[in-house]
Amino acid sequence: MQTSSRKFKNSLYEQLAQVGKSLSAGPRLEILDLLCQGPRTVEALARQAGQSVANTSHHLQVLRRARLVEAQKDGVHVTYSLAGEEVCSFFVALRALAESRLLEIEQVTQQYLKERGVMEAVDREALVDRVRNGEVTVLDVRPVEEYQAGHIPGAISLPLGELKRKLTELPREREIVAYCRGPYCVLAIEAVEMLRENGFTATRLSEGVPDWLARGLPVSHDYTKERRHHK
């Protein structure tokens, strides 16, 4: 017969397990990664995660039951957001733990970068310092709504889809650093490829806004001031 203490512990750990169970599918982790950038409709999440709307909706319901995400209905559309900043912090910590324990993550990443021809020896800490000190031109190549939700101070919003037609507006005398959603996002990789092909000195910052916040660094929300240079 179980004691009251054992029942108490069993109940608590079962509740903790609910969060773990909700994260047991890759698409759900990608959804959390995307929501770390800002709220999204189901349709936008489905498109960006390469999933059907039906599958995305199912995964969102699992995350919602675990109280990791929240939903708000606006007419026929439902917009999802993280239930709190601690959810994004948890995701970043989980990602870091997995990277430290699973060699396969680095192998997959390095193989992809090698195939794209963007393997480079970059001192990440030095690059972060240069970005923070304004020593380089920083491009945020995510969609505009993600930039508006929060971006690295001083970064210029220039979504990847607009980059090619606005190359002539970029300074050639300074190194350009492009960033997007974080280490698993390919938008900045594609931006760096395009910039280099057109004669720019360009580097990818593998960190995104959630990583920036995890460092205790400030994030800007001043959309008008920093976007206006590239209208």
CA distance 220 to 84: 19
Count of H-run helices and E-run strands, the chain: 12, 7
CA distance 214 to 157: 22
In what order do the strands lie in the sheet containing 77-82?
Answer: 40-41, 77-82, 69-74
Sign of the C-alpha dihedral, residues 134, 151, 203, 33? Answer: positive
Rounded (to 5) percent helix, strand, coil in the chain: 55, 15, 30
- 36 is an active site residue: no
Residues 6 or more apart from 145 whose CB is under 8 A from it?
38
Strand partners, 81: 70
C-alpha distance from residue 225 to each of 156, 181, 204, 210, 220 (Å)? 9, 21, 23, 22, 11
The continuous run of DSSP H or E covering 119 comes out as: none
Answer yes or no: are the C-beta atoms of 65 and 22 closer than 8 Å: yes
Of the candidates 36, 88, 180, 185, the residue annotated as catalytic is: 180
Catalytic amino acids?
180
